[in-house]
Amino acid sequence: MLKIIRFTFYFLWLMAVTAIGLIFCLFRPFHPDNLRLIGRLFGKVIAPVMGVSFELRGKEILDNNRPMVMIAPHQNNLDLIIGGLGIPARTVSLGKIQLLQIPVFGWFYWLSGNILINRTNKRKAKYSMEKVTENIQGKNISIWIMPEGTRSRGRGLLPFKNGAFRTAIDAQVPIIPVAFNTYSESVDLNRLKAGKIIGHVLEPIPTTGLDKGDAPRLAQESWEKMKAKIAELDAEVFNSN
């Protein structure tokens, strides 16, 4: 019952915040800090409502390696909490062009500076990724990408797609993996104190001098490092309960 109440508030607050964000973005459309400001508003309220405590370790790495391609796992609806509370300054994300079909939320997502990609059309998708590279290099903007491409929903860390790593190589910026404990399993929203979400920013993986042929190797290296850190965080959360 508590879980239902919490998710009801979650989606009502999400609707309210995106409406506020849409109005805000009309006055400064496509600004790279729109997402961070509105995300903080969402996360600061919703984390305690959901009974979730959040900690992000190694934030100084994010501050000292801009611009960058930041990669994180994709677990479930609570991803919006870690995004809202964890996204650094001048950082936007990638999303499907179909998001524009969602009233208010889709419009806010677009106006807040995020980059929409038409994945059903390879030519348009390639052009969109080229624009991502231009934004990283020319506007000092970082990109948040979830390279699994879909929610894992407790299945563990899924294989990474190569797109994020090709983008980092094209822009010649570091890849910053951010690992989180498996909160899709450890957080119980039917408990008053639902659980912990702990994030750990890993050391930068440089891309200087690499070419697109190195993307699969970088994807595998990043996956292995993130997988190992997730196991450490899961053990820590389990032992603290």
Does position 47 have pLDDT exceeding 90, yes or no?
A: yes
Mean pLDDT of 97-107: 87
pLDDT of residue 122: 67
- Region 192-219 average pLDDT: 93
Domain architecture of the chain: domains with CATH: 51-98+119-240 (3.40.1130.10)
Q: What percentage of residues in the chain have a pLDDT greater than 70?
A: 93
The tokens describing 5, both together, are 């109440």
pLDDT range class, residue 229, cuts 50, 70, 90: very high
Residue range 105-113: mean pLDDT, rounded: 91
Q: Which residues of 126-150 are buried (b: 16+ CB within 10 A; e: fewer)?
A: eebbeebbebbeeeebbbbbbbbee
Q: Retrieve residue 212's tokens.
A: 């697109």
Does an H or E element contain 238, and which? helix 215-240
Distance of CA 36 to the CA centre of its chain: 11
Tokens describing residue 6: 């919490």
pLDDT for the residue 128 = 67
pTM, two decimals, is 0.89
Q: Give residue 127's pLDDT.
A: 67
**Band (135; pLDDT cuts 50, 70, 90):** confident
Q: What is the pLDDT, as a whole number, of residue 34?
A: 93
Residue-level length of the chain: 241
pLDDT of residue 121: 65
Summary mean pLDDT of the chain: 88
Model confidence at 82, pLDDT cuts 50, 70, 90, reads confident
